[in-house]
Amino acid sequence: MEQSGSPFSAPQPRPLPLINHVPPWPHTFHLPAASPVPAVPTWLLDSALLSPAPPPGVMDGPRSDVGRWGGNPWQPPTTPSPEPEPEPEPERRSRRGGRSFWARCCGCCSCRNRADDDWGPEPHRDRGSGSGRRRPDSRGSDSRRPGSRASGVNAAGDGTIREGMLVVTGVDLLSSRSDQNRREHHTDEFEYDELIIRRGQPFHMVLHFSRPYESSDRVALELLIEDIVYVDHEDWRQEYVLNESGRIYYGTEAQIGERTWNYGQFDHGVLDACLYILDRRGMPYGGRGDPVSVSRVISAMVNSLDDNGVLIGNWSGDYSRGTNPSAWVGSVEILLSYLRTGYSVPYGQCWVFAGVTTTVLRCLGLATRTVTNFNSAHDTDTSLTMDIYFDENMKPLEHLNHDSVWNFHVWNDCWMKRPDLPSGFDGWQVVDATPQETSSGIFCCGPCSVESIKNGLVYMKYDTPFIFAEVNSDKVYWQRQDDGSFKIVYVEEKAIGTLIVTKAVGSNMQDDVTHIYKHPEGSEAERKAVETAAAHGSKPNVYTNRDSAEDVALQVEAQDAVMGQDLTVSVVLTNRGSSTRTVKLHLYLSVTFYTGVTGPVFKESKKEVVLAPGATERVSMPVAYKEYRPQLVDQGSMLLNVSGHVKENGQVLAKQHTFRLRTPDLSLTLLGAAVVGQECEVQIVFKNPLPVTLTNVVFRLEGSGLQRPKILNVGDIGGNETVTLHQKFVPVRPGPRQLIASLDSPQLSQVHGVIQVDVAPAPGGGGFFSNAGGNSPLGETIPMASRGGA
């Protein structure tokens, strides 16, 4: 047994002939790890490590950035063809030549000459030919060219089998989900019967020879083994690599909403989709062992810009030509559609991009989590501050206000070592697939060390200035002076990155991770980080000439309101000085997308308040449903702009406060026990909170190991009406599972529900249902089981 190769060089495996015309003599080989064996390594041993080296010179081409390769990436035609229906699994397999996952990914075991590989980007081709899945290239073809060395290998190297020669007649990779390899490598959840193993621990294979194996015989296998993504916490590995579902948080810091997301990284077809994403970008096999490069490519390929990646972003509110981003319940439907058609899927917003990225990176073996940053800044001029401009009367100058603050933004943390950075920057790295700004000319972001963000080290790669501004910039208010210049009248130091959360390890609770991104707000270390970062920005002197009078404090309160109800917003003023203060206050209310893009002001209020020393005064503004209903935009958020002026000392008050209108949850109830291979039923109950009819209502249902993605078209639901649906499904894998549902209509979105389903093994101990490909079609139209009044 020989092992060779380094993390930065592609291996050159020797082909093993598969000749079955002589009786086999089995011999078991135990392939050891190159280093101490972790319990659950966190990097998938896939085609990145077991593929032939590319043809000479291919990897020597130009690279515009790490994770970016030159050449001609595969591009689909500009006019898409209608999406074909999913093929039955037997047909899909036959069209790939009936070859196994291992044979398609492993050059040595597919008996192919490495020089025969055409691993590069696929040329333009007619979509009408039916091609849309991972292309049937040389890795998935049984074709053999005359004279190829792959027709047989022996010591003489001429393809002749000589008497007494040791010839490999077959290879048993022990790849079944119930076999030792899959169980020990924690890949038995993958709904595949091919070998899928992880780096850093032993695996087994059985070689069948033409005669008994002797001690003088020599068999060599070459593997590239390098584990720089290992996580030394068992509970983290269970959560961030093996967990198939999670929570994604949204809304505002004061009104946090949560939704369950089905990552589904082990579902049938998802691994194919993940490898297809790397193939489509033309990523060299030799680069796939580098998590920096892999994560950077994935952050670019999950969005459709530049390279026709997985998801089309849409923040317009018009989703008539695709799916409302709020309606998705998981990544599986999205990735399977991309794999099946080759076309970008409409539509995604930040939590969808992040959910799909979590799926892809976990599937490939990187420990990954989905992270939400509340009050997330979008810095457009590299000033590392959020700049808001007003005229002489403190009215916003919208034509200058290009920076924005998102109510929330969702991205990913993935765990890796950073040998390309100085010591101390290993661990969690930010990767963001939402296309906001370009990085080296490409819409991608990261990986960026969280440690560099925390300390304002914005010169560290990749994209640290942009991410730092998202979590720890100051909101700076500028007022135009009589001479046309602008002066800082207020700096809000705690307005950005107010809370950063992710799902807790081993539970569905929130885990506050703000402390790993930033020092405590207002501390000396935090202020130093902000000033260090700003010194490298486009406005290095932003903190000079600030007014310091701050006798009056301002706070905004908004009640927790449900969509369809009246509500009240209030501004609380407190005089912390020793003299009376007179405040002229202006309140402007508008609707807003979660990205900070606002609609026109639909209600305003002006009031003068006299505050005695130490006094507190509340100014309230009631808002009726009939007032905000015509203004509602996607996700139903409101923005209150408050500005004020203190007569006595010239202090300027400014505050932007966002609050959301809650939507109802779906109620899911399991009707009976859940057993692998046996049909069971779930009941879904929903009450329309609005006094108007919901039209074209669509339910989605999905759950790994329970239900393949399913769409239910239910028509209209009347105002304040309650409806009940019953759906049957057949579990395919045992254990605790999450069944997730959503509702979407033009009048109401962001409606979700989830139920945990504890699935018992099949009678007789069978752990898997034979139909791993799925148990239901998409696009079913169903009647309501019952309808009731309010």
Active site residues per annotation: 350, 409, 432
* Beta strand extents in 485-624 (DSSP E only): 486-492, 499-503, 510-512, 552-558, 561-562, 567-575, 581-592, 598-611, 616-623
**Among 647, 652, 653, 643, CA closest to 581:** 647
Buried b (16+ CB within 10 A) or exposed e, 747-770: bbbbbbbbbebebebbeeeeebbe
Q: What's the rounded Cα separation, in Å, for the pair 705 and 265?
A: 11
CB atoms < 10 A from the CB of 225, how many? 23
Work out the widest C-alpha separation in the chain, in whole angstroms.
107
**Among 242, 210, 227, CA closest to 291:** 227
Q: Which residues pair with 479 in a beta bridge?
A: 390, 487
Q: What's the rounded Cα separation, in Å, for the pair 607 and 582?
A: 11
**Among 413, 635, 407, 430, CA closest to 511:** 413
Backbone φ, ψ for residue 139 (5° rounding): -75, -25
Q: What's the rounded Cα separation, in Å, for the pair 153 and 159?
A: 5
Q: Which two tokens stand for residue 757?
A: 């389903």
Q: Which two tokens stand for residue 239?
A: 């959560």
Q: Are 140 and 99 in contact (CB under 8 A)?
A: yes
CB atoms < 10 A from the CB of 484, how many? 6
SS3 603: strand
Q: Are 597 and 564 in contact (CB under 8 A)?
A: no
Q: What's the rounded Cα separation, in Å, for the pair 542 and 544?
A: 6
Q: What's the rounded Cα separation, in Å, for the pair 107 and 15?
A: 7
Residue where the block lists tokens 């640290």? 464
Q: Which two tokens stand for residue 13?
A: 């495996």
Task: Give the dihedral of Cα atoms 19, 24, 26, 29; nearest 10 deg.
Answer: -20
Classify residue 504 by its DSSP letter: P
Q: At what angle do helices 332-341 and 350-363 cross, to 10 degrees?
A: 80
Classify residue 779 by its DSSP letter: -
Q: Are 734 and 712 in contact (CB under 8 A)?
A: no
**Total residues found in the chain within this entry:** 790
Which helix (H) or strand (E) segment holds residue 644: the answer is strand 637-646
Q: What's the rounded Cα separation, in Å, for the pair 366 and 278?
A: 15
